[in-house]
Structure 1
Amino acid sequence: MSAAPLRRLQEAPARPRPAGGAASAAARANPVTRPATESRPRLRAVGTPEQARSLAPFAWGCVLIILGALSTVLLLNTAMAQGAYERRDLKIEIANLHQERSSLVTAIEANSAPTRLANAATELGMRPAETYGFVSLADADSANRDQGDQP
Structure 2
Amino acid sequence: MSALRAPATPGTRPAAAPRRAPLTSLPGGAADRGRRLDAVRAPLQATSGVPFLVLCALILAGALLAALLLNTSMARGSYDAARLQAEVGRVAQDVQGKQEQLRAAEASLAERAAQLGMVPAEELTMISVEERATVGIDEGDAKAGSAGTP
TM-score by length of 2: 0.53
Does 2:108 align with 1:121? no
Task: Give 5+ residue unaligned stretches, structure 2.
Answer: 1-20, 34-41, 125-135, 140-150
Structure 2 distance, partners of 1:122, 1:137, is 24
Larger Rg over CA atoms: 1
**1:69, distance to aligned residue in structure 2 (A):** 0.3
**1:136, distance to aligned residue in structure 2 (A):** 8.5
Task: Give 5+ residue unaligned stretches, structure 1.
Answer: 1-12, 15-38, 139-151
Structure 1 distance, partners of 2:96, 2:120, is 32
- What residue is the counterpart of 2:80 in the other structure? 86
- What residue is the counterpart of 2:28 in the other structure? 41
**Runs in 1 of length 4+ with deviation above 2 angstroms?**
39-44, 48-51, 122-125, 132-138
Q: Which has the higher helix share?
A: 1
Per-residue CA distance 1:39-87 (angstroms, 9 max, x = gap): 832337xxx9544211111111100000000000111111111111111
Cα RMSD, aligned residues only: 3.5
- What residue is the counterpart of 1:75 in the other structure? 69
- What residue is the counterpart of 2:90 in the other structure? 96
**1:125, distance to aligned residue in structure 2 (A):** 2.5
TM-score by length of 1: 0.52
